[in-house]
Each structure stands twice: as structure tokens, then as C-alpha cells.
Structure 1
Amino acid sequence: MTATQRLVLATGNAGKVKEFAQLLADYPLEVVPQSQFNVGDVSEDGTTFIENAIIKARHAAQITGLPAVADDSGIEVDALNGRPGIYSARYAGEGASAEANWQKLLVEMDGKTQRSARFQCVLVYMRHADDPSPVIAQASWEGSITEQPRGVEGHGYDPVFQVAGDSRSAAELTSDEKNAASHRGKAMALLLDGLKAKGIL
């Protein structure tokens, strides 16, 4: 890809847009959020992170005519049999705020001693809407659910996710620390490897 070629990011999440910009800053990619093309949200009716990421990437590529990258991510809590999972962004209802979602999670976790959890991230790159072989990368980030929110950085469930091997929550990490360790940072590294292997990057 050249510095002038654009790539549409299939998300309306401002926190994710910021993270992607930081993760791709060293590459010759101009990443443009789908909101700049008035691309609306698509129904995420898949049953897995991979299915939903493909749905979002295809939708953005179809409307914009550009290559698209989509992210589908969420948090899996062992004591809740993997919930919220693919429903993380709407756990407290359609259009719920991040705070409402993690508050619901804390209520559900009240009194539970098993608090292990992980973030999952799937990234999908599609050259065009009919791409038969999208590049797919998946990574996870282990941790546990805190009893109270901590920190003001990050987004989503970060304030209630204590990083494995660290005393801090994800919302207490700097953006550089988070990008180096997170599910999205690791998935992005895998995606970039996949793009290089295909000669796309």
C-alpha cells in the first residue's frame, strides 16, 4: 500500500479509532473511520467474534469501495460462562454506555470469588466486499474482574479489568503500555504479519 491509499475502519467507536491510529502510526496507511463516509452500523447477527468482524468489514467495503478493517472484540468472564462475549458492547441494552455495561457486570459478579476473565479481539481485513480470503487475526488478553472501577484511561470495560501479572486495571495503563500488551495490540501485530505475507503491506 502507498501512503495515499486509504483504508476504512469499520467502527464508530472513538476509543477504537484512537487505538488503531496509534497502532498503525508507523505504517503507510491512511486509516479513515467509517463515520467519515456516513457508513452506519450494520446488524451484528453473527454468533462469533469472527463472523461479526467479517459482517462489519464487508459492509464498510461495500459502501465505500475501499479496503476495510473491522474489529470485533469483547470480554469473556469465566464465572458467567463466557458472557458478555459478543454482546459486550450492548450488555446493558442497545445503545448502553460503557459505564452502564461494566456496572451491570460488577453487579452480576457481586460475591463471586472466581473472577478470571479475558478480552478477545478479532481483526478482519477485506480487500473488497467480495473478498473470498480475508486476512483474520485473533488474540486475547488475560486478567480478572475488579470489585470496583479503577483508572480513567482506555475505554469499554478497561476500568474493571485487572491485567494478569499486574496490580493495575487496563484503565490505569498508559496508551503505550496498553497497546503493547492488549488483545487489540497483539491482534494488530498478527494482522500486519498477514498483510505482509500477502504482499498487501
Structure 2
Amino acid sequence: MTKLLLATRNAKKLVELDRIMVAADVHGVEVIGLDAVAPFPEAPETAPDFEGNALAKARDAVAATGLPAVADDSGLTVDALNGMPGVLSARWSGRHGDDLANLQLVLAQLGDVPDDRRGAAFVSAAALVLPDGTEVVVRGEWRGALIRESRGANGFGYDPIFVPEGGTRTSAEMAPAEKDAQSHRGRALRLLLPHITAALT
């Protein structure tokens, strides 16, 4: 069984990649997270774009562990906020990972924006870096609009206020497998799957 390091401590992302690989009938690869390897210094996410942050995280993971690594950087881009919070999505309120504060700040910033101008997209860049130096970066986007009040208990981050194009439910109201089939990270990881299977199976 070949180990693939997903450079995250987010258990939901590990489960998500596992589900996607099972759905694509990928066998012989065990996905592990950062909690399964010895700690190593993790560089801050300072790149101006999702792709740069994803690559940096995957490179650090390979250099520290010698394992093939996948990393993603994802966030919400809001049309009325000129594409922000973007790479700052996880720390938009000033505190990293405070989902509720981040969501409430975006809602407050959009308070006067009419419904027809509340377009947004979830964006995910996913990078695969191999010990031989091979690097692949892909990008997935999920367009939609932001509603004015949170709905739904699934997902995390800005999911409770994001309604995908053509839908009526937020991404936090979707079942996990349904969200995987549409989401930005699901799209990016599926684009990466052929490279993972070619390299590791």
C-alpha cells in the first residue's frame, strides 16, 4: 500500500479525498494526514494566489517526510469584494480558522449589496508533489451566490451562506457525497486523480 500524504490536519479534508478516491475506484493508496507523520516546520501561507500556497505546502511536506504529497489551498472569492477574501478566507476576521467570525464579517460587508450582485465562487488549487521533483497543480471553481443568513449544518467555513448556481440549497445543506460531486475541492482533486494514479498505482 503506497502512502500519500495530504498536507492538512483537517479530518474532513482527509475523509473527502478518501471518498473521492473510492468513488473513482482508486486502490492501493493510503491517504494519511499531517497528524500521522513526525512534526515539521510548516511555512506560513504567504503566496498571493491559491496555487502558490498549495505548492508550498506540498513541497514542505515532501521535503520533510519523503512521501508523495497533496496539498490544497482554497477559499471564497466574492465579486462585490473584488475577489476577496480569497487566499485570506481562513483568517478574514483576523483570527485563523474562526469560521463563524469570518462568515459574519463577510455578511456584514455585503449588508447593503443587493441580491443580484452577491455572486461568489469557491476556488481550490490542489498540488501534487513527488519525491522525484514532479509537480502538478490544478484548479477547481464552484460558482454561486451568497445569501443573507446561514442555513445548514454540514460542511464548514462559508458553506452555510453559499448557494451554488442553479440550486436553492446552501452547500451546508447538501449531503457529503452530493457536495463532493460539485464542490471546488472535489473538482480540483478529481483533476489531480489521474496524476495520482499514474504516479502511485
Structure-2 separation of matches of 1:116 and 1:167: 14
Is 1:13–2:10 an aligned residue pair? yes
Match of 2:129 among 126, 131, 142: 126
Structure 2 length normalisation: TM-score? 0.91
Q: Find the aligned partners of 2:7 and 2:77 in 1 and give their Cα distance.
A: 22
Partner of 1:58: 59
Give 1:165 shift: 0.4
Cα offset for 1:122? 0.7
Q: Is 2:114 the partner of 1:115?
A: no
Task: Kindly state the Cα deviation for residue 168 of structure 1 after the two structures are TM-superposed.
Answer: 0.3
Q: Return the letter of the residue paired with 1:42.
A: A
Q: Match for residue 141 of structure 1?
A: 142
| Comparing 20-29 and 66-75, the one that deviates more | 20-29
1:82 aligns with 2:83: yes
After superposition, the CA RMSD in angstroms is 1.5
Query: Over residues 130-162 of structure 1, what are the superposed CA-to-partner deviations in whole Å (9 max), with x where a residue is unaligned?
Result: 71x411111100001110000000111100111
SS in 1 for 2:74: strand
Report the CA distance between 1:16 and its aligned residue.
Answer: 1.7
C-alpha separation in 2, matches of 1:40 and 1:146: 38
Identity, in percent, stands at 39
Partner of 2:21: 24
**AA aligned opposite 1:13:** N
In 1, Cα distance between equivalents of 2:43 and 2:15: 21
Question: How far, CA to CA, are the matches of 1:41 and 1:178 in structure 2?
Answer: 29
Asked if the contact 1:126–1:135 (Cα under 8 Å) also holds between the matched residues in 2, the reply is yes
- Give, in whole Å, the separation in 2 of the partners of 1:107 and 1:188: 32
Consecutive unaligned residues in structure 1, runs of 5 or more = none
Q: 1:164 to 1:40 in 2, by over 3 A?
A: farther
SS, match of residue 43 in structure 2:
coil
Shift of 1:200: 4.1
> Measured at CA, do residues 92 and 49 of structure 1 come closer, stay the same or move farther in structure 2, by a change above 3 Å?
same
For structure 2, list consecutive stretches of 5 or more residues without a partner in the other structure.
none
TM-score if structure 1 supplies the norm length? 0.91
Answer yes or no: is the 8 Å Cα contact 1:120–1:138 preserved in 2.
Answer: yes
Q: Residues 199 and 69 of structure 1: is their aligned pair in 2 closer, same or farther, counting only changes over 3 Å?
A: closer
CA distance in 1, matches of 2:43, 2:18: 22
Tell me which amino acid in the other structure corresponds to 1:14: A
Comparing 92-101 and 155-164, the one that deviates more: 92-101
Mapped to 1, the partners of 2:112 and 2:12 lie a distance apart of 31
Q: Residues 27-38 of structure 1: matches in 2 within 5 Å?
A: 27-28=26-27, 29-37=29-37, 38=39
